[in-house]
Structure 1
Amino acid sequence: MNTINIERIKLARESRGFSQSTLAKEMKSASQVLLSKIEKGLSNVTDDVFSELCLILDYPKEFFYKKHNVYPLKHFYFRKNLGTSMSKARFLESQINILSGNICDLLDAVEIEIDLPFTDLHKTGLSPEQMADRVREYFKLPKGPIKDLIKVVEEQGIVIHLFDFNSDIKISGVSYITPVGIPVMIINKNIANSRIIFTIAHELGHILMHFKGGIISEDRNVENEADRFASSFLMPSNEIKSNLYYLTDEKLGDLKRYWKVSIQALLFKAKDLGTLTQDQYRRWVTKISYYGWRKQEPLEFEISEPKLLYKMLKLHFDELQYSKMELSTLFGLNALEFDKIYLQSYSDLHNYLNEDNKVRKLKISY
């Protein structure tokens, strides 16, 4: 007999933006007093309450049976500007936990090879910039810009998913490591491509520098460390510095297309390397604000689509012979939500579900 996981009642509620009081107002079978006791494990969930929770929160009953742990927001690293209301933080936490559980479900049936140089900066004495240089060498990257960062990162065994975060949540990306040791990045698909690239590099810094070293001192600014890593990883100082003198609009546009980074990242790098004075940098920042480039820069470039999660989904449809409804049930999602989160991100899966395909091995390689 399936047992309801009490933690997932709160998870479902917060993922739909309900407080206990607002959810209670929608329910006929439970008051806020009862909901509070249910979420704390002090009262049982009756059949009537369970049916109404499934209906109002729009989750199938399988969602509430799943045994995945629910982690607090501090368990994850993320590049963000939340506006930090408690409700937004709880909503974000719930979204990440649901996606994390879905990916863990897929990982039960596949094997991903991880090849990453996890490093404790405190023990090694490395700076984020030195770490970035070592990682480029470890990944065997040539000098110059990284032409396809998404492919490079996924080849090392990191799962990337482009997700449609609620527009009220001002987040660029989040990273974590699953209980089975697979690193995952969830990136906001609605931000500009140049910001997606910097965010992936930023989250790579978190994964390599901040997850394997144990408890990190509160004195360390891990967000600053991840930014410094990303900047040096994408734009090695000794390679780009000579390009950052005498900057003009046209030159910044050329550099953006060549290095696959934003104009803002280029200007910050120039300031950091001393090729721009503080006054020059402030004038550029004023100009960027005037033209609205903080939200939408010109000359955005194309990026590749992540492939690893797509292959995991495809394998379940193909070799494991899951139907879309069965995989939705496995995830504890209704069919429309499954489509929105996954099939709309990998549109060719729609056509793939109607094709006959040969059996493939259960080992995932990029």
Structure 2
Amino acid sequence: MQERTVFNPKQLTSARISRGMTMKELAEKADLSRQMISNYESGKTVPKAESLLKILSVLRFPRSFFSAEIPELTTGATFFRSQSAATKKSRDMQKEKLKYLFNIYLQLSSYVNFPDVCLPDPLEKEIYEITEEDIINKAIELRKYWGLDLFSPIPNLIQLSEANGVVIAEANMSNSTLDAVSRWIVDRPFIMLTNNGESGVRRRFNVAHELGHILLHSSIESIHDYSAQDLKNVIEKQANLFASHLLLPSEAFSDSLLSTSMEYYLNLKKHWKVSIQAMIYKTYLLELINDDQRLYLNKKIAKNKWKKREPLDDEIPVEKPRLLEKVFVMIVENNVVPKSELRSAFRLPIDELAMIIGNVVSDTRDELVDKQPILRLIK
């Protein structure tokens, strides 16, 4: 007698959320009732083969995913580099993709030793007790841990973070209100970047911001314990301050700031690889300009329509995560596990794997497979 394949209802919920769909949307696209989807996700009923094929054709997840057991991230807080407009839907999508990243890491780390985590001890303070001096000291401490001086720009922040044990990947989603998510998982920090086509300087600031959460906010168990005002005006502001002090050490930046004209900020952008707006903010923090001067500069940015896209944004390279790709290639090229077997073990769609690990997971056949219709049962 053939053994019945196990169906894990949690995996259906996960796949649906990661694709940004409500139960109603999935039901409509799969030509099923919302109640049926609800019953499947609650575990009340198991989808029959025909219904499951309909769901697979919409979600485009491999069948093996729905019999897997990907653990929930139960401890620690997840931080989102987001604007106030970021929706619960987009945050939930990122959280599911962060789970996939951790699962990929776990499988790869069973074959290869990842770099040891080399970070200062996270700050153990309630958010209301954290001072700017604490933030400055932690940014300086991180630079020293990573062998950086306090006078030079950081050449490649993502590469440096990965070399020191931070796992970074891009998510298979774009959302203009949500740039990144980060979290300590067990004993390692993870950062997931949204694929927003952002500039190189914005991405560097996003990563620095997430490193701020990782080192400043270990006492937070859940961001839901705080009001929206606390999240924006305390927690996010602290992470922004950390990013500013990490990327622009105060003394070195002050020495380089020979003028506060917009033309001079453009020259400094080439050197520090930080946005003009972030440098104006830093100049203000150092009390090198007053409120009126800051307002004048920000009005000039608005007039030039530079709020979303500044000059040089197309010239400064966008840093990309490379660690997972290198590990994947190392395993395959050393014949530890065949490429197809390693890909299958992740139980994830090619589009998810290609973003998290890199295009190295794909091959020429994948395009053909993606374009082929999923087989249907004929009655």
Structure 2 length-normalised TM: 0.80
1:69 paired to 2:71: yes
Q: Tell me which residue corresponds to 2:191.
A: 185
Pair 110,38 (structure 1): closer, same or farther in 2 beyond 3 Å: same
Distance 1:60 1:215, change over 3 A: closer
Could you tell me how far apart the structure 1 residues matched to 2:178 and 2:41 are? 28
Q: 1:99 to 1:58 in 2, by over 3 A?
A: same
Question: Residue 56 of structure 1: CA displacement?
Answer: 2.3
8 Å contact from structure 2 (residues 97, 171) kept in 1: no
Instruction: Work out whether 1:293 is the aligned partner of 2:301.
Output: no
Change (3 A) 1:54 1:303: closer
Alignment of 1:93-112 (within 5 A): 93-112=95-114
Q: In the alignment, is residue 59 of structure 1 matched against residue 61 of structure 2?
A: yes
Instruction: Give the letter for the 1:268 counterpart.
Output: Y
The Cα offsets for residues 275-323 of structure 1, whole Å up to 9 and x where unpaired, read as: 1111111111111122222211112323554331122211232235444
8 Å contact 2:6–2:67 — kept in the other structure? yes
* TM-score for both structures, normalised by structure 1: 0.83
CA distance in 2 between counterparts of 1:37 and 1:229 reads 46
1:246 counterpart SS class = coil
Rounded Cα–Cα distance in structure 1 between residues aligned with 2:160 and 2:291: 34
Asked whether 1:309 is paired with 2:324, we answer: yes
| 2:243 pairs with one of 226, 230, 247 | 230
The letter for the 1-side match of 2:260 is L
Instruction: Summarize the Cα distance change of 1:187–1:323 in structure 2 as closer, same or farther, 3 Å threshold.
Output: same
- Which shifted more, 141-150 or 66-75? 66-75
Q: Is residue 2:28 matched to residue 1:11?
A: no
| 1:33-182 alignment runs, 5 A limit | 33-71=35-73, 75-81=77-83, 83-112=85-114, 113-122=116-125, 127-144=134-151, 145-163=153-171, 165-166=173-174, 168-179=175-186, 181-182=187-188
Report SS of the residue matched to 2:280.
helix
Cα deviation 1:82-135 (Å, max 9, x = unaligned): 623343333333333333333333233322211211222418966211211222
Residue range with higher mean Cα deviation, 319-328 or 293-302: 319-328
Structure 1 window deviating more from structure 2 (234-243 vs 99-108): it is 99-108
1:45-83 per-residue CA deviation (whole Å, 9 max, x = no partner) reads 333333332222111111112211234899421211262
Secondary structure of the 2:331 match is helix
Contact 2:12 2:66 in 1 (8 A): yes
Aligned length: 346
1:132–1:233 Cα contact (<8 Å) kept: yes
Matched, 1:24 2:39: no
Give the secondary-structure state (helix, strand or coil) at the position aligned to 1:122.
Answer: coil
Partner of 1:327: 342
Q: Secondary structure at the match of 1:127?
A: helix
The answer to whether structure 1 residue 259 and structure 2 residue 272 are counterparts is yes
Moved more, 135-144 or 205-214: 205-214
1:213-228 correspondence runs (5 A): 218=226, 221-228=234-241
The partner residue of 1:202 within 203, 209, 215 is 209
Match of 1:277 in 2: 290
Shift of 1:22: 2.2
Unaligned 5+ segments in structure 1 are: 352-366
Q: CA deviation at 1:274?
A: 1.0
Distance 1:81 1:108 in 2: 37
How far does residue 243 in structure 1 lie from its aligned partner after superposition?
Answer: 3.3
Q: Is contact 1:68–1:101 with CA below 8 Å preserved after alignment?
A: yes
SS in structure 2 opposite 1:184? strand
Q: Secondary structure at the match of 2:183?
A: strand
Could you tell me how far apart the structure 1 residues matched to 2:169 and 2:250 are?
29
Judge which range, 213-222 or 123-132, deviates more. 213-222
In 2, distance between residues paired with 1:138 and 1:212? 22
Mean Cα deviation higher: 104-113 or 335-344: 335-344
- For the aligned residue pairs, the C-alpha RMSD in angstroms reads 3.0
Q: C-alpha displacement at 1:214, in angstroms?
A: 5.4
Task: Tell me how far apart the structure 2 counterparts of residues 85 and 162 of structure 1 sit (CA, whole Å).
Answer: 19
CA distance in 2, matches of 1:273, 1:332: 50
Tell me the SS of whatever aligns to 1:114. Answer: coil
